[in-house]
Each structure stands twice: as C-alpha cells, then as structure tokens.
Amino acid sequence: MKLNVKLFADGADKKGMLEMYANPLISGFTTNPTLMKVAGVSDYKSFARDILTYIKDKPISFEVFSDEFNDMEREALEIASWADNIYVKIPITNTKSESSVDLIDRLSSKNVKINVTAMMTVAQVQSVLHALSKGPGSYVSVFAGRIADAGLDPLPIMNEVVGMLKDYPNIELIWASPRELYNVVQASEIGCDIITATNNILRKLPTLGKDLDQFSLETVKMFYDDAKEAGYSI
C-alpha cells in the first residue's frame, strides 16, 4: 500500500529508536518527557546528546520541561544548539493555561525550528501560525488520538488544519498519538504531512494491504499453535 505521509517514530528507548533508524521507511523521530521517564532516562541532556551521535540526518524533536516561559526559552535555545536536525517541542500552553505564542514568536525570530505540541483544537493551531511563519521550518502536532479518546472524530479537525496550512509552506502537520495502524492510512488519505507513532504500531506496517482471508488464516493458526504450546486440554 502506497503511503503519502512521512512516518516518524515516537519513543525514548535507545534500542527501539536505533531499530527504527535502521528502517528506511522512518523519516524522523519525536520524544517527550513522559516517554523518557517510561524508558528510564535519568539524565535528559546525556540521553539526547548520545542519541544525536547516531541520528544525525533525520529530524528529531526534544521537548522543554519547565513551566515558566523564561526557563522554557533558555532550555529551547540550549536544546536547539545541540544539532541542526533538532526541532524543539514547545507545549501550546504551560500548566497554568497561559499561551506559549509569545515564546514561540521569540524562538522563531531566533531561527529555532519548533514543534508545537499537545494541540487538540483548530483555534490552537490558528493561534501559532503567524509566529511560526517567521521561522526556518516547524511542526504543529495535533493529538488526534487523544481527540478520539474524548469521544470525538479527529478527522474534521485534521482536515481543517491540512487546509489551513496550504498557505504556510514552512509549517508541517504531525498527526500525533495514533491509536492504531489505520490512523496511518487516514493521515495519508487527508494529506497530513507526518504521523508519529510508537514502535508497537510501526512494527505492524507490513500488514498494510494484506489479504484478509490470509490474515484470518494466520490468526486461526496463531490461536491453534498457542493453545497447543500451552498444553491446554478439556
């Protein structure tokens, strides 16, 4: 199945990241503090600098973690200085629900590549476009999976953002937090630029376009083999 969307790997496990780096289908990488915590990363800077010795030729996003905008700016400038392929992730607001737009504007004016993260509404995307338009290239990450978790269809929102970005060639849309492989197909069909997914989803890519009768048979065989291996009897 032909895909018209770039695939980014989302994670912070070094082994898993390097596995995906070796996959020619993967065009970039994203991380966040939560993924780093889950992966057992204790030293943020050491982890990032180590990964950057391997991943030099594909975009990779690292996120600030302070809650005050002055501290975010200092962190962002430090992170951006580590390598040319870095996009700095800035959350759309801080924990006090204060907008990050002014910070994004300042960083864009300083030629920092930005990935605005944790967005879920069209209005949030609209609010950052002018600031990002000043920069060298940026991403807007819309968390389609979390929109779906709220019981809402993310497609209308994602479609509207795709349309909005036609006037901003230096800004790319990331479909973030996918919940299943079919989200990759959806992102491709609507013209989304990028989808970032965890390795457990990306490893399923070979099943795209698979014959369903064959897939059904393989599933039956899996159940049979597992029951046999477990030694079940009635």
Burial environment of residue 65 by CB neighbours within 10 A (0 to 12, 13 to 18, 19 or more):
middle
Does residue 57 sit in helix, strand or coil?
coil
Is 89 labeled as catalytic in the residue annotation? yes
Q: Which residues pair with 89 in a beta bridge?
A: 63, 115
Q: Name the active-site residue from 15, 89, 134, 228.
A: 89
- Would you say 202 and 7 are in contact if contact means Cβ atoms under 8 Å apart? yes
Burial environment of residue 146 by CB neighbours within 10 A (0 to 12, 13 to 18, 19 or more):
middle
- Would you say 21 and 58 are in contact if contact means Cβ atoms under 8 Å apart? yes
What positions carry a catalytic annotation? 89
